[in-house]
């Protein structure tokens, strides 16, 4: 699978706000579900415990990412 995650050009990364703030657990669940849909998932399972304070887990059957993309995904502005 060819790499799909790239470092953004500096000119673009400078335009990005300071970062996303988690306002409530529902916004975390929504983001994870959107990621699963982007990964072409056809089955998505969500688990939430104690209103999201104890556990938020989203499992799916999406295409995932390559080893190289996983390493790159934690880089700033990737």
Task: Write out pLDDT tens, residues 43-57.
Answer: 999 999 999 999 999
Cα end-to-end span (Å), the chain: 18
| This model's pTM is above 0.75 | no
Residue 1: inside a domain, yes or no?
no
Residue 3: inside a domain, yes or no?
no
Residue 77: inside a domain, yes or no?
no
Residue 5: inside a domain, yes or no?
no
Residue 39: inside a domain, yes or no?
yes
Q: Once rounded to an integer, what is the mean pLDDT over residues 5-19?
A: 71
Residue 55: inside a domain, yes or no?
yes
Residue 4: inside a domain, yes or no?
no
Residue 30: inside a domain, yes or no?
yes
The total number of structural domains in the chain stands at: 1
Q: Once rounded to an integer, what is the mean pLDDT over residues 21-38?
A: 89
Question: What domain range is 35 assigned to?
Answer: 10-72
Q: Once rounded to an integer, what is the mean pLDDT over residues 32-41?
A: 94
Quick check: 22 pLDDT over 50?
Answer: yes
How do beta strands 44-49 and 55-60 pair? antiparallel
Q: Once rounded to an integer, what is the mean pLDDT over residues 10-29?
A: 74
Check: CB of residue 65 under 8 Å from CB of residue 3: no
């Amino acid at each position: 699978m060819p790499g799909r995650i790239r470092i953004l050009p500096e000119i673009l990364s400078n335009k990005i706000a300071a970062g996303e703030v988690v306002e409530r657990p529902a916004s975390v669940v929504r983001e994870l579900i959107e990621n699963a849909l982007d990964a072409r998932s056809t089955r998505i399972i969500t688990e939430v415990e104690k209103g999201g304070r104890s556990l938020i887990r989203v499992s799916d059957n999406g295409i995932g990412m390559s080893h190289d993309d996983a390493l790159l995904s934690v880089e700033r502005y990737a």
